[in-house]
Amino acid sequence: MSGFATARQKMVDGQVRTNDVTDTRIIEAMLAIPRELFVPQDKQALAYLDLDLDVSTGGSTKRFMIKPQVLAKLLQAASIEASDKVLVVGCASGYAAAVAARLAAKVTATESDSALVEKGNAILDQLGFTNATIKSGAAADGYPADAPYDVIILNGATEVRPERLFDQLAEGGRLVGIFAASRPARATLVTRSHGDLGHRALFDAAAPILPGLERHPSFEF
């Protein structure tokens, strides 16, 4: 077994399985997808560590792949079905989109860094994904052209209510992400039923805030 394959197995055994992720489809996807391809070459040794990994291309905005165990738990909470249409918001270099594409019928992902969009699509093509694509766009905007979505996944945290994303949820749809408007930040499942939204806190978690989903500064007099 190669060094990266060994690290991949250790990531799944030590970070994913031990955090109550029991969906075998997620486990198999994370074992199969070479996470190291989605990070800069000089950081590939860090690809399987339990951290939010900076994959920025040198621009002013930092972009991250969120911790493997947090992503796995969010995906499990989303209960993705093989027929689902999924939106991954703020996908960075595309790893979350790749994992979701092993579970769903179609994945659309968004990313505000154009260099990461190009890199991510090239990796998805290299790995043979035909049901996933990354589009340029702001996290807060989602991708209305392909809406509505059965599942929306935030590859990071939000400090505000992502109203435009809620609007893109199909009836019976699920949105999962880290909601950080208050402390502690919590992974949250949002569901749409009969036009109404329900919120359920899942677990305490932290992740970098997605660009455009930051809380606006308030002024005190």
Which helix or strand (DSSP H or E) is residue 4 part of? helix 3-11
Does position 60 have pLDDT exceeding 70, yes or no? no
Give 180-188 contacts, CB < 8 A, sequence gap 24+: 180/206, 180/207, 180/209, 181/215, 185/157, 187/70, 187/73, 187/74, 187/77
**What pLDDT score does 219 carry?**
46
Domains and CATH numbers, the chain: 3-204 (3.40.50.150)
**What pLDDT score does 11 carry?**
97
pTM: 0.95
Instruction: Give pLDDT tens digits for 92-134.
Output: 999 999 999 999 999 999 999 999 999 999 999 999 999 999 9
pLDDT band at 220 (very low <50, low <70, confident <90, very high): very low
- Of residues 189 and 221, which shows the higher confidence score? 189
